[in-house]
A and B are shown apart, each in its own frame.
Chain A
Amino acid sequence: EVQLLESGGGLVQPGGSLRLSCAASGFTFSTSVMNWVRQAPGKGLEWVSAITGSGGSTYFADSVKGRFTISRDNSNNTLFLQMNSLRAEDTAVYYCAKDAAAWGQGTLVTVSS
């Protein structure tokens, strides 16, 4: 069974940084493209970033380009999202997703002073 478990969310001040993790199990992590998707309170779903299985290619939404970095540790089946220069509009539940069928439960990031 595919399992994805996010962690690392919390309250951070504007301009601050946070690193999210997603622990994966139940599938061959190292060959899977992985994604981060976020949902602001009361709003819709927004794709944030993706990374290929090898980590050789990364993709970002314009809204986070230059501020967020995606990476992975295939030896420990873990996906990361490094978020820098955080803004109030980055406040959201962040989900990691393998594909349409496999999403984690999400971790809440709140950017506020």
Chain B
Amino acid sequence: DIVMTQSPDSLAVSLGERATINCKSSQSVLYNSNNKSYLAWYQQKPGQPPKLLIYWASARASGVPDRFSGSGSGTDFTLTINSLQAEDVAVYYCQQYYSTSWTFGQGTKVEIK
């Protein structure tokens, strides 16, 4: 299985500041035939299912504010939240869908400092 490792496990950021979450896969999730990385980012709030933020490593899902951005390719990826808002407090997960057996990072809890 492809192992997804996120860092840090948690972070506290002041309102209006930037939050950066990293995700590393144990093998490349880049599909050479279409040059796409099969990597998604989710936001999950208590009692809710995960909400898709980013797919193909950097494409923003419909309705997601543009302060959320994704970058990276192959095995190393980053989710950036610019100008953190109070409603961004949540746990964030990366996920690879390169393999039929999806795997997720362990999650990063984002809080307000």
Contacts and interface: CB of A to CB of B under 8 A. Distances in A.
Partners in one complex: yes
Interface of A: 33, 35, 37, 44-47, 50, 59, 61, 95, 99-101, 103-106
Contacts of B107: 44-45
Given A50-B102, A104-B49, 20 more contacts: A44-B105, A45-B42, A45-B50, A45-B95, A45-B104, A46-B104, A47-B102, A47-B104, A50-B100, A59-B100, A59-B101, A61-B101, A95-B50, A100-B40, A100-B42, A100-B97, A101-B52, A101-B55, A101-B61, A103-B49
Report which residue of B55, B100, B102, B105 has the largest number of chain A beta carbons within 10 angstroms of its beta carbon. Answer: B102
A70 B104 CA distance: 21
B93 to A, nearest CB: 6
Contacts, number: 42
Interface of B: 40, 42, 49-50, 52, 55, 61, 93, 95, 97, 100-107
